[in-house]
Amino acid sequence: MADHLSTLPLIKEMMRVLSARERFSILISYNELIFDMLETDKKLAAMTDNVYKEDALKEQEEAWQLAFSDDLVGQIIVES
């Protein structure tokens, strides 16, 4: 976009709306991730105890740690 157009009020508002839309999409995706992880937790709890369950539980714990890591959560909080 040409520099002189970026100062127009309508263009500024359009850019603000597009930015808000992107932040909202990120938040929705993060929420979907958390809901999917909660469903996985339920499935793991229903599994019979075996080596596969132990491995899956370790992987799930790592996924939770990543989902709530300062890098990811901090980015979402800043974006919101």
pLDDT tens by residue, 7-37: 788 888 999 999 999 889 988 999 999 999 9
pLDDT at position 54 is 96
**Tokens of residue 66, six digits:** 């990543």
User: Using CA atoms, how far apart are residues 68 and 76, in angstroms rounded to an integer?
Assistant: 10
The yes-or-no verdict on residue 64 having pLDDT over 90 is yes
The yes-or-no verdict on residue 74 having pLDDT over 60 is yes
The yes-or-no verdict on residue 1 having pLDDT over 80 is no
* Contact yes or no for 76/27 (Cβ under 8 A): yes
Report the pLDDT averaged over residues 43-60.
Answer: 96
The yes-or-no verdict on residue 40 having pLDDT over 60 is yes
**Tokens of residue 44, six digits:** 């793991």
